A and B are shown apart, each in its own frame.
Chain A
Amino acid sequence: MNKKKNRIAVVSGIRTPFAKGDGPLKNIQADDLGALALKALMNESDSNKNEIDEIIIGNVAQPANSANIARVIALKAGFNKSIPAYTVHRNCASGMESISSAAYKLLNGDENKIIAGGTESMSNIPFLFKPKMKKFFEELFKAKTISQKLNCLRKFKLSNLMPIIGLVEGLTDPTCNLIMGLTAENIVNEFKISREEQDKYALESHQKAIKSREILKEEISPIPIMPDYKRILDQDHGPREEQTLSALQKLKPYFNRQTGSVTVGNACPISDGAAMLLLMTETEAKKEKKEVLGYINSFAYAGCEPRTMGLGPVFATQKLFKKTGFSINDMDLIEMNEAFAAQIIGNLRAFESKTFAKKHFDQSMAVGKIDEKKLNVNGGAIALGHPVGTSGTRLILTALKELKRRGKERALATLCVGGGQGAAFVVESN
């Protein structure tokens, strides 16, 4: 793709503050978070609700109480019933998938203005009953006579009550049976990454995020906290001012308790939050003389080994570069989602490794060495949080805002996807 082609204009964008699981946003469901972000987006933008043609939202947990959560969000945010909405799911890249789905529709000329975004409330992912318990309930409800009922009750075992934790299920890859933390341990082993490196990286993420508190407020719309509205949350709740290396080093490995090195401190937390962008094509935006945040030049998704799903960014970026002719040196900033410190470090090594390129892409050149000064300059998910369906949108929003602030041109926003995929977007300020 060359620069002359019609790009997607990001007319405006906003997000809620992110909060750690069971934190200040724990009582707000994913649809309500999404609606709050959507209303805030409409405040930011100079468009009317009725000008919007479609609303596309990414969401991973897909709460049972709001099927097609995008539609629920649109109606709750006060959109007219005639405006359609649908939900997309590409696991951790859902918040990017919504944007790329919108891009196709816009470029095809089907629609003029689409809102794309993501929402997630990981605090509200429910516990489930085991199949045995379900069967017990079914039999009990079917039982008519008292003796049948008693008979059924007799079969009850206390162990049936042990719940299935929805969150853990969701974070476990059913094909390789690994929880995400263990896929990070695989990267640790493959690239021989030390515990110190990981903890140091995590600490820096917090330090950068704390330093950028005020900067990040530019992309955040404060929200009155439901259900009592007793206070307002106006900044991300994850970044820790008092974070120290020694504190991080004291933490026990969480996923591989004996020999592992991935801890809750050098991984991203369970998080709640939502983000929204208003998208048009570049030509239409210019026709309507819109002031825009920036543009989406191109994007690519790629598959990779589920056991090391964290390497997704290098696979997706390689594909995107090949497709567009961009190189890492064209990028003024890089936003790479910090699922795990180990996973970021693994990617940094893979990006600059000729061997890796040769082995996986059959090319002699490395994908490109990443200048760490350009990487996640305002901190990343380890500090800010990773509401899975939302992060994709957040990366693009943060990258565009930062390009504007720095007066720079181009950024790469990329993230790894549970199940073994990567997503990569090239965004531009002008």
Chain B
Amino acid sequence: MSNFKLTIDKNFNAWLEFDVKNKKVNILNEESLLNLEEKIEEIKKNKTIKSLIILSKKINNFIAGADIFEISEIKNREEGEKKLIYANNILKEIENLKIPTIAAINGSCLGGGMELALACNFRIVSDNKNTKLGQPEVNLGLIPGFGGTKRLPQTIGFKESIKMISTGKAISGKKALKIKLADYILNESHFKDELTKLLKKGLIKKKRKKDIIDKSPILQNLMTRIAIKTIRKKTKNQYPAPIEAVKLIKRTFFKSINKSLLDEKEVFLKLLKSPVSKNLIHLYMTQEHVKKKYKQNKDLELNETAVIGAGLMGSGIAWNLSYKNINVSLNDIDWKNICHGFQNINNIYKTLKRRKRWKQTEVINFMHKVNAVTNIKQIKNNDFIIEAVSEDILLKKNIFKEIEKNNEKSIIATNTSSLDIEEMSKVLKKPENFIGLHFFSPVNKMPLVEIIPNSKTSKETIEKTNALSQKLNKIPIIVKNCPGFLINRILIPYVNEAILNLEDGAEINEIDTLMKKFGMPIGPLALADEVGIDVGYKVAKVLEKGYGERMKVSKLFESIIKDENLRGRKSKKGFYDYSKNKKENNDIKETLKKNRIKKEHIHRDCLDRMLLIMVNEAARCLEEKIVGSPEELDLAMIMGTGFPPFRGGLCRYIDQRGIQNIVTRLELLESLYGIRFKPAKYLYEKIENESKIYN
């Protein structure tokens, strides 16, 4: 059975319908390309055919692109080159057909799919909100490889094509029409009928008029330089693909198609070889793996939800619920706190209003989803309650007892970063409905949540919590109950190690710059300031209590916490001074100068100390099965801490550097700095079995 079905109607229009078996979306894998080639041959032979329409049988999808799994399996340059040439030849065949060719796009049209559409004479889109056109290859560290860098600029001009290809962002059908990427837009519900009518009437090509940039190499030069500068700034120069894409478009803009395709192929193959692309593709597969594992079939039905505690976290969570149009009662003990909570929520909406050009009425409608409640007894008949009061286990326990009375059927989730879920579950009559749900701050920006069941949590509760998390556009990772759960257990030792580095003679800026160069969005000391030094300290103490010697809080951390003016950004002073422009806090430097004895090798070991302390703890988490798989661990680190995506995750980093290398280094660090670097058993086991973390 072919993935393509060809029918010729009475008006001699050939309808080529794409429908990849056993998949929700169409992809241009080896089989599809082969089938497509056969059909094009057939069409070429049939001289009666007057036009060719390529369309999809899938709902909301035209073509999702090339097969990323196949790309990841490419072993060497020759294999890659062969595949590229093969696909490009088919597209050329389509382009060279003597009859009008039409891509009928009702749904997402991305990557290779977009390039196929570009090889047609006409692109007809629908007004379906799922109709999105784009070249997202840069997200995988690649560029379009089926002629997209040539045909897209030819169609929509220099400026728009640079924007689309270098950002990887897809555009709507309406926008496509506006920039002349599409020739017609049709009503989604009558797409095929309208298309037939249009064919009868005859299609007219209204070619886009070239603008001044398309004609002037000087302006193109200028624009290229500006674009590259912007990209460098945005990606901190860690992602080569968008820059290569812009350069390529510039270089081939006035060249012939054949020469351009050769250039495109070279750049594509070069990028395909790069570790960034390899890691991003790996990350994509990781995401797919996790997505599949956490997939929900049932739709979660929620009438009423509640959030207890209107602080920064509570109001953030209430915002998230309201933004998904879920009724949420926000409870706090007094109206002043509620008022602050409402202000926080409103501020998030104000930003959204500006960005999305909403009217004020839209903000008001969302705000109405939040219901203010000061009397906790009025928190009743809910389906889902998230408690987010301050980290005080007694207070939390009392709240659970109180709300359990009037919310018999509700799931009760606690948002905690460090308290023991098992211990808390003991006060509930129905621990099966109780679960930990750890959001990260600020809730509106951080995409991760940790789900922490207790030993009695029911499967249904876990499933519903997973479903709610996804409804809130969060990526949930289920982790076992342990001090710090997954993220803080790995992240706090890293921050602590940064402070130890500082004690041992490294500079504040040096430490943060090292980690930023590694790819972290923000250095560990700046991170401590952002989170709040007191908040971090609290968790660090929990970890010290839970894991003993290896998580001992550094002396410097202990002395900083005594100074109430040093709380990080919120008190305007922490490791940095925020009173005017952000700069190193000289007071801390002065205190340090008096006490510290600069250790040897400090600059050499600084980076590895921070990295390997994380690596070692991650290995322990895998060993203790705190998290289900390295895929989940890597995704959690990327989404929860901003661990650089181009490195593919912490486990991926271990595999790439080599476990033996890491263990050797850890052993050395242990001898120099103490037992906390003693390599985890898990790492030795892997060496013994000669396996990697990812099999």
Contacts of A224 in B (CB 8 A): 335, 338-339, 342, 372
Which of B304, B343, B368 is close to A229, meaning CB atoms less than 8 Å apart?
Answer: B343
- Max count, chain A CB within 10 A of own CB: residue among B365, B372, B380, B381: B372
Per the bound structure, the CA–CA distance linking A234 and B336 in Å amounts to 11
B346–chain A nearest beta-carbon distance, Å: 5
Which of B303, B339, B363, B368 is close to A50, meaning CB atoms less than 8 Å apart?
Answer: B303
Residue of A nearest to B325 (CB): A78
Per the bound structure, the CA–CA distance linking A351 and B584 in Å amounts to 81
Q: Tell me if B339 and A229 are in contact (CB < 8 A).
A: yes
Per the bound structure, the CA–CA distance linking A226 and B367 in Å amounts to 9
Per the bound structure, the CA–CA distance linking A67 and B351 in Å amounts to 29
B220 within 8 A of A: no
**Complex interface: stretch among A41-49, A152-160, A257-265, A390-398:** A41-49
Q: Tell me if B368 and A78 are in contact (CB < 8 A).
A: yes
Per the bound structure, the CA–CA distance linking A229 and B336 in Å amounts to 10
Residue of B nearest to A44 (CB): B378
A430–chain B nearest beta-carbon distance, Å: 25
Per the bound structure, the CA–CA distance linking A44 and B371 in Å amounts to 12
Residues 22-42 of A, flagged 1 when their CB comes within 8 A of B and 0 if not, give 000000000010010001001
Contacts of A4 in B (CB 8 A): none
Q: Tell me if A77 and B342 are in contact (CB < 8 A).
A: no
B166 within 8 A of A: no
Q: Tell me if B364 and A230 are in contact (CB < 8 A).
A: no
* Count of residues in B whose CB is under 8 Å from the partner chain: 25
Q: Taking A48-B381, A226-B364, A227-B364 as contacts, is the C-beta distance between A232 and B371 under 8 angstroms?
A: no
Residues 58-92 of A, flagged 1 when their CB comes within 8 A of B and 0 if not, give 00000000000000000011101000000000000
Q: Tell me if A229 and B346 are in contact (CB < 8 A).
A: yes
Q: Tell me if B380 and A46 are in contact (CB < 8 A).
A: yes
Per the bound structure, the CA–CA distance linking A77 and B328 in Å amounts to 11
A237–chain B nearest beta-carbon distance, Å: 16
Q: Taking A35-B368, A78-B371 as contacts, is the C-beta distance between A222 and B346 under 8 angstroms?
A: no
Residue of B nearest to A42 (CB): B371
A11–chain B nearest beta-carbon distance, Å: 15
Per the bound structure, the CA–CA distance linking A235 and B335 in Å amounts to 13
Q: Tell me if A78 and B369 are in contact (CB < 8 A).
A: yes
Q: Tell me if B327 and A78 are in contact (CB < 8 A).
A: yes
Per the bound structure, the CA–CA distance linking A229 and B366 in Å amounts to 14
Q: Tell me if B338 and A232 are in contact (CB < 8 A).
A: yes
* Count of residues in A whose CB is under 8 Å from the partner chain: 25
Residues 368-391 of B, flagged 1 when their CB comes within 8 A of A and 0 if not, give 110111010010110000000000
Contacts of A230 in B (CB 8 A): 339, 343
Q: Taking A43-B371, A78-B371 as contacts, is the C-beta distance between A232 and B364 under 8 angstroms?
A: no
B360 within 8 A of A: yes
Per the bound structure, the CA–CA distance linking A35 and B367 in Å amounts to 11
B163–chain A nearest beta-carbon distance, Å: 35
Q: Taking A43-B329, A46-B380 as contacts, is the C-beta distance between A231 and B339 under 8 angstroms?
A: yes
Q: Tell me if B371 and A49 are in contact (CB < 8 A).
A: no
Contacts of B329 in A (CB 8 A): 43
A190 within 8 A of B: no
Within 8 A of B (CB), among A213-245: 222-224, 226-232, 234
Contacts of B303 in A (CB 8 A): 48-50, 80
Residue of A nearest to B340 (CB): A229
Contacts of B327 in A (CB 8 A): 49, 78
B655–chain A nearest beta-carbon distance, Å: 49
Q: Tell me if B346 and A76 are in contact (CB < 8 A).
A: no
Within 8 A of A (CB), among B293-315: 303-304
Per the bound structure, the CA–CA distance linking A35 and B365 in Å amounts to 10
Within 8 A of A (CB), among B315-374: 327, 329, 335-336, 338-339, 342-343, 346, 360, 363-365, 367-369, 371-373
Q: Tell me if B343 and A77 are in contact (CB < 8 A).
A: no
Q: Tell me if B371 and A234 are in contact (CB < 8 A).
A: no
Q: Tell me if A229 and B342 are in contact (CB < 8 A).
A: yes
Contacts of A222 in B (CB 8 A): 335, 372
Residue of A nearest to B371 (CB): A39
Contacts of B365 in A (CB 8 A): 76
B406–chain A nearest beta-carbon distance, Å: 8
Q: Tell me if B373 and A43 are in contact (CB < 8 A).
A: yes
Residues 87-102 of B, flagged 1 when their CB comes within 8 A of A and 0 if not, give 0000000000000000
Per the bound structure, the CA–CA distance linking A42 and B304 in Å amounts to 12
Per the bound structure, the CA–CA distance linking A222 and B363 in Å amounts to 21
B632–chain A nearest beta-carbon distance, Å: 35
Within 8 A of A (CB), among B142-200: none
Contacts of B363 in A (CB 8 A): 227
Per the bound structure, the CA–CA distance linking A50 and B343 in Å amounts to 29
Within 8 A of A (CB), among B460-494: none
Per the bound structure, the CA–CA distance linking A362 and B342 in Å amounts to 59
Which of B346, B368, B381 is close to A227, meaning CB atoms less than 8 Å apart?
Answer: B346
Q: Taking A222-B335, A224-B338, A227-B360 as contacts, is the C-beta distance between A76 and B343 under 8 angstroms?
A: no
Per the bound structure, the CA–CA distance linking A411 and B338 in Å amounts to 36
B7–chain A nearest beta-carbon distance, Å: 42
Contacts of B378 in A (CB 8 A): 43-44
Per the bound structure, the CA–CA distance linking A77 and B378 in Å amounts to 16
Per the bound structure, the CA–CA distance linking A230 and B342 in Å amounts to 9
Q: Tell me if B369 and A228 are in contact (CB < 8 A).
A: no
Q: Taking A43-B371, A43-B378, A77-B368 as contacts, is the C-beta distance between A49 and B339 under 8 angstroms?
A: no
Per the bound structure, the CA–CA distance linking A229 and B343 in Å amounts to 5
Per the bound structure, the CA–CA distance linking A49 and B342 in Å amounts to 23
Per the bound structure, the CA–CA distance linking A185 and B49 in Å amounts to 90
A37–chain B nearest beta-carbon distance, Å: 12
Residues 96-131 of A, flagged 1 when their CB comes within 8 A of B and 0 if not, give 000000000000000000000000000000000000
Per the bound structure, the CA–CA distance linking A35 and B371 in Å amounts to 10
Contacts of B372 in A (CB 8 A): 39, 222-224
Contacts of B369 in A (CB 8 A): 78
Contacts of B360 in A (CB 8 A): 227
Contacts of B336 in A (CB 8 A): 232
Per the bound structure, the CA–CA distance linking A228 and B346 in Å amounts to 7
Within 8 A of A (CB), among B259-311: 303-304
Per the bound structure, the CA–CA distance linking A396 and B381 in Å amounts to 28
Contacts of B375 in A (CB 8 A): 43
Per the bound structure, the CA–CA distance linking A43 and B346 in Å amounts to 22
Per the bound structure, the CA–CA distance linking A222 and B371 in Å amounts to 12
Q: Taking A39-B371, A50-B303 as contacts, is the C-beta distance between A32 and B338 under 8 angstroms?
A: no
Residue of A nearest to B343 (CB): A229
A80–chain B nearest beta-carbon distance, Å: 8
Contacts of A50 in B (CB 8 A): 303
Q: Tell me if A32 and B368 are in contact (CB < 8 A).
A: yes
- Max count, chain B CB within 10 A of own CB: residue among A76, A78, A227: A78
Residue of B nearest to A223 (CB): B372
B308–chain A nearest beta-carbon distance, Å: 14
B362–chain A nearest beta-carbon distance, Å: 12
B382–chain A nearest beta-carbon distance, Å: 10
Per the bound structure, the CA–CA distance linking A325 and B440 in Å amounts to 67
- Max count, chain A CB within 10 A of own CB: residue among B329, B367, B368, B375: B368
Per the bound structure, the CA–CA distance linking A67 and B51 in Å amounts to 52
Q: Tell me if B368 and A76 are in contact (CB < 8 A).
A: yes
B321–chain A nearest beta-carbon distance, Å: 11
B349–chain A nearest beta-carbon distance, Å: 10
Within 8 A of B (CB), among A292-308: none
Closest 6 CB pairs of A and B: A229-B342, A78-B327, A43-B378, A76-B368, A232-B335, A39-B371
Other A-B pairs, 7, CB within 8 Å; known A39-B368, A48-B381, A230-B343: A39-B371, A49-B304, A80-B303, A224-B342, A229-B346, A232-B335, A232-B338
Q: Which residues of B contact A (CB under 8 A)?
A: 303-304, 327, 329, 335-336, 338-339, 342-343, 346, 360, 363-365, 367-369, 371-373, 375, 378, 380-381
Could you list 6 A-B pairs, sorted by A, with CB under 8 Å?
A35-B368, A43-B329, A49-B327, A78-B368, A78-B369, A226-B364
